[in-house]
């Protein structure tokens, strides 16, 4: 796990080294163990390294071929690097390291730019071919690792985080179309970002940059179809087999590692698979809350006891006024999901002992783990769907409802929201898979839009804020491809979320852990808005700064806050979004010193 950055300079332009040094410095949390960059005058590749595989400085990046013709940097891990290394050795490659980045170097030399299709991993990769003058950028299939691009007069810049691009001197201008999508979906879907002129390379895509820039897809789930002959027993066996192998290859590490263990189905299943491969100590981590409605400590401890892990649990206090600016700073964009804050805290706990953890991320989207799916598919049935249901689902799962957007938004943000369809990316993603059944189409929408837009941002940014690597077996591309061969009805059979998944794991986990009610990993911030955080809300939303941006009706903001505090309406999600966007403006557009100090 690392951070990468660089630029391909435009003809006749020069970029001062200080700009690259600034990019490198602001990514240091992603890689505190080593740093480096290489340039041939036109193309610069840089890296900050968190050492997980091959801890020696031989694997520090950039790695450059012996003939000097190819340079590589990567952020992530290639889990099948051992198998690829043996295959490349058989073809004559000679290795100087035991790391996975050198495998990328030789894979490019032997198999060309499409080598990426052979990788099983999470990654953002930059390869510069000095012989052709072309630079290739790659992002992993499901979007676990971020990679941002910006085309400027000086050239094309790229980085693992947007703040590195800003550190290079790129303009700080809000993208109102993206902010409209934020108020529709509660996150900003790729390729859009909150900044005008900065885009997010889409998952499963690569960019070739020479005289021009060409972006193309190298992987998609569009060819996957549900298998009508698959039995439930076959689905259960396939899930167990893939989870086992995906976990096995994610245990490859030269640094100490453990797992996040909440006691939920996904994290417990991953720890069970870890126990199948590890005889010795397994370290697991969880945090709990004083509010019993949100505390999973007893379930985490039950799972830890079952699988004999060395478990560390901590009840934490939520210092929201400190944690909120920090989480927005590390995300670079507004997010309305406050579970980023406890993810930051459990990462802080784990990193005291380990450098890498396994998690259960991805299981909900692939196998229908959210209760919201039963809202559109009652008892797992799709019979009540009507024409245009995809748009209805996108809006129902979104942020603003009824006349809220018409009343709340003003100026350019009102225009951006109402002149286009800000829900379009999620709705279009569901329509893009006509060969799938309706349940799987919804899950594909969430897998391709929600997952990389929000749910994978959380573990990457919050763990990397603490220099901790996160690996998720459910995000193995083989698991994703398999999941969408499983007919959707199996996933919501009898009105049970993750039905076939639970059937697959119940013998291993026991009924209590398998069928316990799902708890969201979050905090009761809506209740806090009514008492301990009321003044904080007023300070953030009603001090005149939000109103001065000309994007929101101040009277409506005050009306919404007072209605929530009085208990007349539950406007938790809307207030969270308003606070998040105001924090984002102060951090990234205003560069407010007080807010930046809080974030630090």
Give the number of other CB atoms < 10 A from CB of residue 11: 7
Task: State how far the Cα of 521 lies from the Cα of 62, in Å rounded to an integer.
Answer: 37
Structure tokens at 273: 């698979």
Task: State how far the Cα of 139 lies from the Cα of 148, in Å rounded to an integer.
Answer: 10
Give 382's DSSP letter: -
Residue whose tokens read 């263990």: 261
Q: Are 104 and 95 in contact (CB under 8 A)?
A: no
Task: State how far the Cα of 179 lies from the Cα of 549, in Å rounded to an integer.
Answer: 13
Q: Which residues are annotated as a binding site for L-glutamine?
A: 100
Cα of 225 vs its chain's centroid, Å: 25
Task: State how far the Cα of 179 lies from the Cα of 194, in Å rounded to an integer.
Answer: 6
Listed in sequence order, the residues at least 6 apart from 370 whose beta carbon sits closer than 8 Å to its beta carbon are: 364, 497, 518
Structure tokens at 473: 């077996």
Helix (H) or strand (E) holding 503: helix 499-509
Write the CA distances from 412 to 173, 175, 178, 186, integer angstroms: 13, 10, 12, 18
Residue 149 backbone dihedrals phi, psi, to 5 degrees: -130, 150
Structure tokens at 150: 């910006």
The active-site residue, picked from 2, 26, 331, 537, is 2
Helix axes 297-306, 265-277, angle to 10 degrees: 20
Task: State how far the Cα of 429 lies from the Cα of 31, in Å rounded to an integer.
Answer: 34
Per residue, the 3-state secondary structure of 156-184, as one string, reads EEEECCHHHHHHCCCCCCECHHHHHHHHH
Give the number of other CB atoms < 10 A from CB of residue 282: 21
Give the number of other CB atoms < 10 A from CB of residue 451: 24
Tell me, yes or no, if 2 is annotated catalytic: yes
Task: State how far the Cα of 49 lies from the Cα of 464, in Å rounded to an integer.
Answer: 11
Q: Are 103 and 93 in contact (CB under 8 A)?
A: no
Q: Are 4 and 47 in contact (CB under 8 A)?
A: yes
Whole-number CA gyration radius for the chain: 23
Give the number of other CB atoms < 10 A from CB of residue 114: 12
Give the number of other CB atoms < 10 A from CB of residue 138: 24
Q: Which residues are annotated as a binding site?
A: 100, 287
Q: Are 130 and 40 in contact (CB under 8 A)?
A: yes
3-class DSSP assignment, residue 574: helix
Task: State how far the Cα of 417 lies from the Cα of 409, in Å rounded to an integer.
Answer: 8
Cα of 331 vs its chain's centroid, Å: 10
> 498 forms bridges with which residues in the sheet?
none
Listed in sequence order, the residues at least 6 apart from 466 whose beta carbon sits closer than 8 Å to its beta carbon are: 29, 344, 347, 348, 351
Structure tokens at 509: 């986990």
Which are the catalytic amino acids?
2
């Amino acid at each position: 796990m690392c951070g990468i950055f660089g630029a391909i300079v435009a003809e006749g332009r020069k970029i001062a080294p200080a700009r690259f040094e600034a990019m490198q410095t602001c990514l240091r949390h992603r890689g505190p163990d080593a740093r480096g960059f290489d340039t041939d005058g036109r193309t610069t590749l840089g890296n900050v390294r968190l050492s997980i595989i091959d801890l020696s400085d031989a694997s520090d990046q950039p790695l450059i071929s012996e003939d000097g013709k190819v340079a590589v940097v990567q952020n992530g891990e290639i889990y099948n690097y051992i198998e690829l290394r043996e295959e490349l050795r058989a073809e004559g490659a000679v290795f100087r390291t035991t790391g996975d980045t050198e495998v990328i170097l030789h894979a490019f030399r032997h198999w060309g730019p499409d080598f990426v299709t052979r990788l099983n991993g999470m990654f953002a990769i930059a390869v510069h071919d000095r012989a052709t003058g072309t630079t290739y950028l790659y992002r992993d299939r499901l979007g676990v690792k971020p990679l941002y691009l910006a085309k400027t007069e000086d050239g094309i810049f790229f980085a693992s985080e947007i703040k590195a691009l800003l550190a290079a001197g790129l303009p700080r201008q809000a993208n109102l179309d993206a902010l409209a999508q934020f108020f529709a979906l509660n996150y900003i879907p790729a390729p859009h970002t909150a900044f005008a002129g900065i885009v997010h390379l889409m998952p499963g895509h690569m960019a070739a940059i020479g005289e021009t820039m060409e972006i193309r897809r190298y992987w998609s789930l569009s060819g996957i179809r549900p298998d009508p002959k698959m039995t439930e027993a076959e689905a259960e066996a396939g899930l167990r087999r893939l989870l086992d192998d995906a976990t096995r290859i994610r245990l490859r590490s030269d640094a100490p590692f453990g797992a996040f263990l909440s006691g939920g189905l996904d994290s417990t299943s991953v720890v069970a698979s870890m126990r199948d491969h590890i005889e010795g100590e397994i370290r697991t981590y969880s945090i709990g809350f004083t509010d019993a409605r949100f505390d999973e400590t007893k379930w985490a401890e039950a799972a830890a006891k079952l699988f004999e892990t060395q478990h560390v649990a901590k009840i934490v206090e939520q210092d929201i006024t400190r944690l909120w600016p920090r989480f927005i700073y590390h995300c670079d964009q507004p997010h309305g999901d406050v579970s980023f804050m406890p993810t930051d805290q459990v990462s802080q706990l784990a990193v005291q002992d380990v450098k890498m953890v396994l998690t259960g991320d991805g299981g909900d989207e692939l196998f229908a783990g959210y209760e919201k799916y039963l809202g559109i598919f009652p008892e797992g049935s799709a019979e009540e769907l009507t024409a245009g249901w995809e748009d209805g689902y996108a809006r129902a799962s979104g942020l603003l409802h009824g006349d809220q957007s018409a009343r709340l938004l003003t100026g350019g943000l009102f225009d951006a929201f109402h002149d286009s369809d800000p829900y379009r990316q999620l709705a279009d993603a569901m329509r893009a898979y006509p060969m799938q059944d309706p349940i799987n189409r919804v899950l594909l929408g969430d897998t391709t839009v929600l997952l990389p837009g929000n749910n994978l941002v959380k573990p990457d940014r919050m763990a990397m804020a603490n220099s901790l690597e996160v690996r998720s077996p459910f995000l193995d591309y083989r698991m994703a491809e398999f999941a969408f061969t499983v007919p959707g009805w199996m996933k919501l059979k009898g009105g049970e979320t993750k039905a076939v998944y639970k059937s697959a794991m119940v013998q291993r986990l026991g009924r209590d852990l398998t069928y316990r009610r799902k708890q969201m990993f979050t905090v009761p911030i809506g209740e806090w808005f009514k008492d301990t955080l009321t003044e904080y809300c007023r300070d953030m939303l009603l001090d005149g700064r939000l109103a001065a941006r000309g994007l929101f009706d101040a009277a409506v903001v005050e009306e919404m806050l007072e209605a929530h505090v009085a208990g007349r309406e539950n406007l938790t999600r809307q207030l969270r979004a308003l606070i998040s966007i105001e924090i984002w403006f102060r951090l990234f557009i205003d560069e407010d010193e007080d807010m930046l100090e809080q974030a630090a």
